[in-house]
Every structure is written in structure tokens, then in C-alpha cells.
């Protein structure tokens, strides 16, 4: 067994990369088109962008389309990396949505002869003083067009408080940190040197997760990546320095058989951070670290059989395990 604690900073340490742009259009039929600099690669960032816009305007997510990422709509995009993509682009999208929402509320107040403080958009209806009015979302958007109210808006976000001197290694490089701990249990066959991950139990700091299904899936996938990274993904070179493990036939990556028999993820009950989009913390890179704990679990298993074992050579393949089980102290 091994424990793998986690503290992971969220942001690019190269401060200028911590910025993003977004663009939103509301069309006459009440549909929305949103563009950001985020690249969807299966991590669910587009779903989160839809959630943000749907929450701000209190409309059906089916009305919202995420446009393909293109520099003709959103220029100077930052890389989709460093676990900061949802935060940066989500905050930029919020910066675009809020002025639009204000304009729509002002129009609704005018149509209802009310103060803007009395107006609320809820479930595709306009409410005045908590009571539903005769105006629905589509009627409001149609009225906005007829009244020549702008229905397009760009947004920009730059993470505040960040500064970091790369030469001195000093400053405040991260917006916030993500925390958690994993317990990993491995079973080792001392005759053959092979092993299986019996169980991984994780408690993780999601903040106030805006989509726990996506976030949990990110952790599950990252754990398997971490396990593969420290147990099988070995770089092999010949005597001339030529890379031999240069394809999927020679460079082994984790598959379904690498998945722990039991994998549990429990959210930590905490308040979200103000710099996390909608207080939902980043969940890209951090959970990879949980999977790395399997390396130490295997080491502990070897030492139980061979107390003289002492080696730090990753990835810890079955061949290395077998040598560790029956080898002498280095």
C-alpha cells in the first residue's frame, strides 16, 4: 500500500499566457453561439462553456452552440494546457455574458416599466420582483433586435495577482492550488514479478464542481495514465542512442487491463476558490499524480519480500520487479 498526497498549482508559470478571449452572439430565434480559445479534446471543456452561458442567462443548454475554435473569431489564444483552460476561457466567457445580460435586463425593465433591480431572468422567463411576467426569452430577444440592442459581445480575462520571476524562482505563479490524497493497494506475484492494482481510493478537492461527472471522469483517466507512466512506459535506446521504443508496438501504454479493480473518487467538501470559474477547480493535470503512487506501492511490496531492496528506477516494469525481489541491495 502507498499514500499519494497532492498539492498542485493552477496557472501557467509564464504569466503572459494567463489570458483569454471569448465571443458570444445571441440570434433572433433565441439561440446562442459562443466562441473561445479552448480546444475540446475529450476533456469536456465545451460542455462547461455551455453550462456557463446557460447559467448566466438561465436558458436551456440546447439553445447554445459552441463554435469551432478559430482565430478569425477569437485571436491570440493561449494553449489548451496547464489545467487552466476552463478557468481562463470560462472567465472570458463570463466577461462577455455579463454585459449582454445587463443590456437584456435594462430592456426588460423598460418593457415592464420597472427598475432594473426588480428584473431577473429565470428558466427562460422574465421575472419582476420574484413574479413571472408575460415576457419569455424568445420575446425578449426579439424585442432587443427591434429596439436595436446589441446582441453580440466579446470578453477578455487575465488572471489577477500573478507574477513570477523565472530566473529567481520567486513570485506568485498560481491562482490557487488543488489538494487531495490517494490510497493505492497493489498485489504482487513474487514468483513472476507481475502485479495488479487492487484498489485506488481518492479524496479530491474539486472546489464547487460544475460538472461532477466530467470531473470524476478526468480523475479516473488521469489515474490510469499515471499508473501506465510509472509501470510500463519505458524509453529504450540502442548503443548508438537510437530510440527503439518509437511506436505503439514497442512503447507500451496503459489499456483496460491497467485499470484498478476498484477505483473510488470522493469529493472533498470545501468551498470553491474565487479565481476558479464558478468556483469549480481545475481537474486536468493534478490527478495524474495519484497514479504515480502505484510506483511506491510496488516498491513497498518488494521490500516486504526482500527487505534489502533499494532502487529508484522508473518505470518499474515486471522485469525490474523480479530483479528487485531476488537481487541484493544496491
Q: Which residue has the cell 470559474?
A: 277
State yes or no: is 285 an active-site residue. Answer: yes
C-alpha pair distances (Å), 257 with each of 224, 251, 253, 263, 290: 10, 16, 11, 13, 18
What are the cell numbers at 280? 469549480
Interhelix angle 85-111/45-57, nearest 10 degrees? 20
Say which of 120, 285, 319, 330 is annotated catalytic. Answer: 285
User: Coil, strand or helix: which one is 229?
Assistant: helix
The bridge status of strand 262-267 relative to strand 195-204 is parallel
Q: How far apart are the first and last CA of the chain?
A: 23
Instruction: Report the distance separating Cα 212 and Cα 191, nearest Å.
Output: 41
Burial of 283 (0-12, 13-18, 19+ CB in 10 A): buried
8 A C-beta contact, residue 205 and residue 26 = no
Instruction: Report the distance separating Cα 263 and Cα 288, nearest Å.
Output: 14
Tell me which residues are annotated as active site.
Answer: 285
Amino acid at each position: 500500500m502507498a499514500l499519494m498526497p497532492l498539492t498542485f498549482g493552477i496557472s501557467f508559470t509564464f504569466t503572459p499566457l494567463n489570458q483569454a478571449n471569448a465571443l458570444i452572439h445571441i440570434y433572433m430565434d433565441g439561440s446562442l453561439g459562443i466562441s473561445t480559445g479552448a480546444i475540446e479534446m475529450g476533456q469536456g471543456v465545451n460542455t462547461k462553456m455551455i453550462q456557463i452561458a446557460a447559467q448566466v442567462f438561465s436558458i436551456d443548454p440546447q439553445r447554445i452552440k459552441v463554435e469551432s475554435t478559430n482565430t478569425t473569431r477569437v485571436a491570440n489564444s493561449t494553449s489548451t494546457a496547464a489545467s487552466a483552460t476552463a478557468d481562463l476561457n470560462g472567465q472570458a466567457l463570463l466577461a462577455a455574458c455579463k454585459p449582454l445580460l445587463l443590456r437584456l435586463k435594462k430592456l426588460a425593465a423598460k418593457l415592464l416599466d420597472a427598475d432594473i433591480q426588480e428584473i431577473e431572468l429565470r428558466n427562460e422567463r422574465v421575472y419582476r420582483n420574484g413574479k413571472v411576467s408575460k415576457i419569455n426569452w424568445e420575446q425578449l430577444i426579439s424585442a432587443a433586435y427591434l429596439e436595436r440592442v446589441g446582441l453580440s459581445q466579446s470578453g477578455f480575462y487575465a488572471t489577477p495577482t500573478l507574477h513570477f520571476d523565472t530566473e529567481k524562482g520567486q513570485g506568485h505563479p498560481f491562482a490557487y492550488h488543488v489538494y487531495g490524497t490517494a490510497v493505492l493497494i497493489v498485489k504482487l506475484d513474487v514468483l513472476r514479478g507481475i502485479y495488479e492494482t487492487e484498489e485506488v481510493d481518492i479524496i479530491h478537492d474539486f472546489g464547487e464542481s460544475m460538472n461532477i461527472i466530467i470531473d470524476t471522469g478526468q480523475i479516473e483517466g488521469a489515474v490510469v495514465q499515471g499508473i501506465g507512466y510509472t509501470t510500463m512506459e519505458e524509453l529504450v535506446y540502442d548503443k548508438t542512442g537510437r530510440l527503439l521504443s518509437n511506436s505503439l508496438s514497442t512503447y507500451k501504454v496503459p489499456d483496460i487491463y491497467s485499470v484498478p479493480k476498484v477505483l473510488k473518487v470522493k469529493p472533498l467538501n470545501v468551498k470553491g476558490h474565487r479565481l476558479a470559474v464558478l468556483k469549480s477547480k481545475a481537474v486536468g493535470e493534478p490527478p495524474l499524480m495519484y497514479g504515480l503512487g502505484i510506483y511506491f506501492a510496488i516498491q513497498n511490496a518488494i521490500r516486504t519480500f526482500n527487505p534489502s531492496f533499494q532502487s529508484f528506477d522508473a518505470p518499474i516494469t515486471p522485469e525490474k520487479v523480479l530483479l528487485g525481489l531476488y537481487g541484493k541491495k544496491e
